[in-house]
Amino acid sequence: MDELRFHRWLEGAWKLPEDWLGIGDDAAVIPLTGAALLCTDTVAQGTHFVAGTDPVAVGHKAAARNLSDLAAMGAEPVAALVSLVLPRDCALELPERIIQGCRAALDPWDCPVVGGDTTTHEGGLVVNVTLLGRAMGAEVIRRSGARVGDVLIVSGQLGGSLLRRHLTIQPRLNLARTLMSRAIPHAMIDVSDGLLLDLQRLVTASQCGFKLDASRIPIHTDTNELPGDALERAFTDGEDFELLFAMDPLLWSEFEQSGETPVPLTAIGVVTAQGQEIMRDGLPWWPRGSGYVHH
């Protein structure tokens, strides 16, 4: 792969503000005011996608995972760094198509790629994206703010992402923007490793517990094409990239009745002082799995 040619292709691909410095120097320069949010995510062949996957889809996934992290904190992207570990002797088309995929995820949010790195090795493709973000409101939303009595709400539908959705992530930035302007959650997390595991992370950070109604869990129709219990898949499959948040019940009621949400939302339970309980058909129940594990 001709690295210099690839870098020349990248330079000037994004029109930057005059006081920014992007690709072409040893570091990017971006003037900042206020708090900066930083997140990074890596996707690797064999773990996050199989050999032969469309490089555009790989690039989209690598960028969109980070966008979902920013959405979970009530933030939006400012700029991106993309680093590629490419199979040795790959054609120039490969990194170009990866960047096309990154652009498909980033351009709707006016987020340019301002730098990164490329190298080659004897293994499969690895893509890392790092995002610089800024808060959409006066503060960022953390996992640790849930309060006893809060309603637990999840966006979209869960389970079965393995079939196709893990490559076509739709980060919930529009929902985050609506929440930050209308009904700020006390705590929020994106569902990347499964509803159960990420909910446990949220309540652990908030030093509280939860009680869920299993009949309320929004199950994606993709689970019907996979073996096993659809409800268990909704709890544990992972890579849904929906938002899970805790909100004051009165505020939630007003927000729900307003009909202003850009995606479907479902109240699935409440925050409790302690313990973790799921009720199914009137009886205590627990999924057999724990969540998505990156091997």
Question: What is the edge-to-edge ordering of all strands in the sheet holding 37-44?
Answer: 37-44, 126-135, 75-87, 113-121
Span 135-184, pLDDT tens digits: 999 899 999 999 999 999 999 999 999 999 999 999 999 999 999 998 89
The pLDDT value given to residue 293 = 66
Q: Are 167 and 283 within 8 A, CB to CB?
A: no
* CATH architecture observed for domain 143-284: Alpha-Beta Complex (3.90)
The pLDDT value given to residue 2 = 65
Comma-separated ranges of CATH 3.90.650.10 domains in the chain = 143-284
CATH 3.30.70.1140: does it fit domain 3-135? no
Find all residues with CB under 8 Å of 87, minimum gap 6, and list them.
94, 120, 121, 122, 123, 124, 125
pTM for the structure as a whole: 0.94
Closest CA to 41 of 124, 109, 126, 107: 126
Comma-separated ranges of CATH 3.30.1330.10 domains in the chain = 3-135
- The 3 state secondary structure assigned to the chain is CCHHHHHHHHCCCCCCCCCCECECECCCECCCCCCCEEEEEEEEECCCECCCCCHHHHHHHHHHHHHHHHHHCCEEEEEEEEEEEEECCCCCHHHHHHHHHHHHHHHHHCCCEEEEEEEEECCCCEEEEEEEEEECCCCCCCHHHCCCCCEEEEECCECCHHHCHHHCCCCCHHHHHHHHHHCCCCEEEEECCCHHHHHHHHHHHHCCEEEEEHHHCCECHHHHHCCCCHHHHHHHCCCCCEEEEEECHHHHHHHHHHCCCCCCEEEEEEEECCCEEEEECCEECCCCCCCCCCC
The pLDDT value given to residue 149 = 98
Q: Are 206 and 187 within 8 A, CB to CB?
A: yes
Tens place of pLDDT per residue across the chain (295 aa): 666 677 676 776 778 898 988 888 889 999 988 889 999 999 999 999 999 999 999 999 999 999 999 999 999 999 999 999 999 989 989 999 999 999 999 999 999 999 999 999 999 999 999 999 999 998 999 999 999 999 999 999 999 999 999 999 999 999 999 999 988 999 999 999 999 999 999 999 999 999 999 999 999 999 999 999 999 999 999 999 999 999 999 999 999 999 889 999 999 999 999 999 999 999 999 999 888 765 4
